[in-house]
């Protein structure tokens, strides 16, 4: 007796999306949806450009794509997602009929996180004008950026500690700022902005000394004491004051340049505290022979590190970051538990504008994605 096999590969029909947009540029188009955990820059779902303003994507012949597909189009992340012709957020697209081809149109795309809704801006609290740093016998301004609906919610949130608060959301910053307040506003519209940011101001003339860990080409620094301040003094205060999720899997630390370097060592010194590291353009040149051998002494823990470097920063920036990634991933003791995403912008300079662009991508991957790379 002959029996018919159900859902054999030959019976699964492929589905194709054809997209047209009059608002076209050189950025590639991706599809983010319920089939890839809403990852916004998933190269497996990058559309093929057929002509100016014309894109196409055919889903693999897999039964999981035969059911209802819910999705949006992006140019790489939520800062570059599709919007309607008036600049408003668009509803999710739904494909649940039996047709094998679907035609879609996009009116406009976000650019540089604009427009954003002021009602979604995070609440910015000055925690203290003079927060005590007993480890350094100093005082510092520390800020908390809370989700816009924090007061009307009972949720608990992951926390990211960031260095150089002066350059994160201050419109008067001398060299520009990351605009994390505006970016969090847009991110909240797409379900990836529910996070508390703790922003620590740097020590002005003492910045290099405070961010310099141990003895480097800059001389001897007080970075270890500064790191102890964040882990042993600041974090307990934050967890007591706000509705945080205090475990290491929901706690991150990050920064750029020397702030990136001290953040690397924060994760190395306190792996039981920080499970997420956001490292932008770290000043690895001050420690060209960084040694990680002592990592073999610790029980391996799941850790995510987002590494970013710009190709137009210096001759050594990209090679140093690539070398660091290689060193981290080959540590036998880490036993595959270290997940590192390396992002390189060949045109990127050592400036706030480029770190600003990278911020939402890092937040999404570190805290809201299940993809390892």
Over pLDDT 70: what percentage of the chain?
A: 93
Least confident of 106-110, 228-232, 301-305: 301-305
Entry pTM: 0.83
Q: What integer best gives the mean pLDDT of the chain?
A: 89
Q: Compute the average pLDDT of residues 42-50.
A: 95
State residue 15's pLDDT score.
95
Would you state the CATH architecture of domain 13-109? Sandwich (2.60)
Q: Higher confidence at residue 361 or residue 231? A: 231
Report CA 214 to chain centroid distance, whole Å.
28
Q: Compute the average pLDDT of residues 149-157.
A: 96
Least confident of 1-10, 130-139, 156-165, 195-204: 1-10
Out of 8-22, 44-58, 206-220, the most confident range is 44-58
pLDDT above 90 for 138: yes
What CA–CA distance (Å, rounded) separates 119 from 185?
A: 8
Q: Is there a common fold for 13-109 and 118-368? A: no
pLDDT above 60 for 38: yes
What CA–CA distance (Å, rounded) separates 124 from 145?
A: 5
How do residues 15-36 score in pLDDT, each as one tens digit? 999 999 999 988 899 999 999 9
What CA–CA distance (Å, rounded) separates 76 from 45?
A: 11
How do residues 207-227 score in pLDDT, each as one tens digit? 999 999 888 888 888 999 999
DSSP-assigned beta bridge partners for residue 58: 16
Q: Compute the average pLDDT of residues 255-263.
A: 95
State residue 206's pLDDT score.
93
Q: Higher confidence at residue 214 or residue 136? A: 136
Q: Compute the average pLDDT of residues 304-333.
A: 86
State residue 297's pLDDT score.
47
Name which of 159, 154, 134 is nearest 144 in CA terms.
159
State residue 268's pLDDT score.
83
The full DSSP string for 252-269 is: EEEEETHHHHHHHHHHHH
State residue 300's pLDDT score.
64
Pick the CATH number of 118-368 from 3.40.470.10, 3.10.129.10, 3.20.20.70, 3.40.50.1820: 3.40.50.1820
State residue 191's pLDDT score.
82
Collect all residues with Cβ–Cβ distance below 8 Å to 186 and sequence separation of at least 6: 78, 79, 110, 113, 116, 117, 120, 193, 360
Name which of 349, 373, 370, 27 is nearest 175 in CA terms.
349
**Where exactly are the structural domains of the chain?**
13-109, 118-368
According to DSSP, the β-strands at 276-280 and 251-256 are parallel
Q: How many CB atoms lie within 10 A of CB 118?
A: 9
For the packed helices 352-368 and 180-189, what is the interaxial angle rounded to 10 degrees?
40
Collect all residues with Cβ–Cβ distance below 8 Å to 203 and sequence separation of at least 6: 138, 140, 209, 210
What CA–CA distance (Å, rounded) separates 360 from 112?
A: 11
Least confident of 88-102, 119-133, 158-172, 330-344: 330-344
For residue 146 the two structure tokens come to 């809370």
State residue 219's pLDDT score.
85
Q: Compute the average pLDDT of residues 340-368.
A: 91
Q: Compute the average pLDDT of residues 55-66.
A: 93
State residue 4's pLDDT score.
45
pLDDT above 80 for 256: yes
Q: Reduce the DSSP state of residue 145 to 3 states and report it.
A: strand
- pLDDT band, very low/low/confident/very high, at 289 (cuts 50, 70, 90): confident
Least confident of 97-111, 158-172, 316-330: 316-330
Q: Please give the angle made by the CA atoms of 242, 243 and 248, to the nearest 5 degrees.
A: 100
Instruction: Give the dihedral of Cα atoms 241, 246, 252, 253; nearest 10 deg.
Output: 50
What CA–CA distance (Å, rounded) separates 79 from 116?
A: 10
Least confident of 91-105, 159-173, 359-373: 359-373
CB 231 within 8 A of CB 261: no
Q: Please give the angle made by the CA atoms of 250, 284 and 39, to the nearest 5 degrees.
A: 40
State residue 5's pLDDT score.
46
């Amino acid at each position: 007796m002959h029996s018919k096999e159900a859902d054999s590969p030959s019976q699964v029909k492929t589905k194709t999306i054809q997209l047209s947009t009059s608002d076209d540029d050189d950025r590639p188009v991706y599809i983010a949806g319920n089939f890839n955990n809403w990852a916004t820059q998933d190269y497996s779902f990058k559309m093929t450009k057929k002509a100016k303003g014309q894109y196409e994507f055919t889903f693999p012949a897999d039964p999981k794509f035969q059911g209802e597909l819910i999705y949006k189009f992006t140019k790489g992340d939520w800062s570059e997602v599709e919007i309607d012709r008036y600049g408003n957020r668009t509803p999710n697209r739904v494909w649940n009929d039996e047709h094998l081809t679907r035609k879609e149109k996009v009116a406009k795309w976000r650019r540089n996180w604009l427009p954003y809704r002021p009602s979604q801006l995070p609440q910015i609290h000055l925690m203290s004008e003079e927060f005590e740093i007993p480890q350094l016998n100093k005082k510092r301004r520390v800020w908390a950026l809370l989700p816009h609906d924090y007061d009307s919610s009972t949720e608990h949130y992951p926390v990211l500690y960031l260095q150089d608060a002066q350059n994160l959301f201050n419109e008067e910053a001398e060299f520009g700022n990351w605009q994390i307040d505006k970016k969090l506003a847009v991110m909240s519209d797409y379900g990836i902005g529910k996070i508390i940011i703790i922003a620590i101001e740097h020590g002005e003339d003492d910045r290099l000394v405070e961010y310099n860990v141990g003895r480097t080409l800059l001389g001897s620094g007080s970075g270890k004491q500064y790191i102890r301040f964040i882990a042993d003094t600041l974090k307990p205060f934050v967890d007591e004051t706000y509705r945080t999720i205090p475990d290491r899997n929901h706690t991150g630390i990050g920064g750029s340049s020397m702030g990136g370097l001290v953040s690397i060592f924060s994760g190395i010194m306190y792996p039981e505290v920080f499970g997420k590291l956001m490292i932008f353009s770290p000043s690895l040149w001050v420690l060209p022979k960084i040694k990680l051998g002592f990592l073999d002494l610790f029980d391996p823990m799941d850790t995510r590190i987002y590494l970013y470097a710009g190709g137009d920063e210096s001759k050594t920036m990209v090679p140093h970051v690539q070398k660091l990634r290689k060193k981290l991933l080959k540590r036998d003791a880490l036993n595959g538990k270290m997940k590192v995403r390396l992002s390189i912008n060949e045109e990127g300079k050592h400036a706030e504008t480029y770190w600003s662009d990278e911020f939402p991508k890092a937040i999404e991957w570190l805290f809201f994605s299940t993809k390892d790379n």
